[in-house]
Structure 1
């Protein structure tokens, strides 16, 4: 993105970087509304295409992320309100009203963004430590992790110790106390 005054303008390279960084989490976000992954992907792609075609400029990088979340939310809600959806799917007005609340929107954005930050931090760990932590997050026991990775239980514990120490360093900014 290049700045022009206070505005950020997307060029081909910055647009591609933005797409690659936001697309996965926006698809997860859209899926929370639509419960259909292919449809969620289509919605997110449509939003990116519209931004590119309309040459939308942004006030800041934070504004950019917020804009895309809000645009995806609105596109999902428009789909859920559409006649096509009501005819082809079970239309539940109560769910739609819950989806339109700011609380639902903010909680979903927070969960997805936090997961993205944690995934990036885990990817910075040594390979075995990252594997151990990912399995641990999936509720594998130390014994199951040891069996899965063909390592001893003590090695699992050592990898966890190293991973937790490094993750505390990577994610220290999340500490709200």
Structure 2
């Protein structure tokens, strides 16, 4: 993760960026409700960490740092005069956004979604499509129509996919 001088190498930083960027954008969007602004804020956080040559003990520490930084930058934006003068500013929403419960629940949902999406992407292409449509509340009939396959084929893809996903995601179950 870090180079010999206790800092990121460009390659390791690019890898970290690619793995965290999508979920951090979604996370910022939960606060800002503006995708372009969310992307800008996440990019600014990554740029600042690179410029300041911040070193991390491990990947988990880095992930936590990025989530906290994106949260703080998003909240700072919401508190800014620019935002207050152009948007409907509701103090009650700000207080809810600032709670540790909101932060933790959103971070957990987004990280879990990323883990599930990574697991789905390991499935055969058709099975992955079936599962994604199923997650979007498509019925088996709708999936069959959408993918031009039989309902039995949809069921077979689901069976194979669920078996593999259960194995890949077993660590998520509460015991």
Give the TM-score, by structure 1 length.
Answer: 0.96
Distance 1:76 1:41 in 2: 11
Taking structure 1 as reference, are residues 20 and 3 closer, same or farther at Cα in structure 2, changes over 3 Å only? Answer: same
Q: Secondary structure of 1:2's match?
A: coil
Q: Which residue of 1 aligns with 2:36?
A: 38
Q: Which residue of 2 aligns with 1:170?
A: 168
State the shift of 1:9 in Å.
Answer: 2.0
Q: Structure 1 residue runs of 4+, over 2 Å off?
A: none
Distance 1:71 1:24 in 2: 15
Figure out how many residues of one structure are paired with residues of the other and give that number: 175
1:104 aligned residue (102, 105, 108): 102
Describe the superposition over 1:1-56 as per-residue Cα deviations: whole angstroms up to 9, x where unpaired: 2266xx95211001100111100000000000000000000000000010011001
What's the Cα RMSD here?
1.2
Larger relative strand fraction: 1
Q: Which residue of 2 aligns with 1:79?
A: 77
Q: Which residue of 1 aligns with 2:23?
A: 25
- Segments of 5+ residues of structure 1 without an aligned counterpart are none
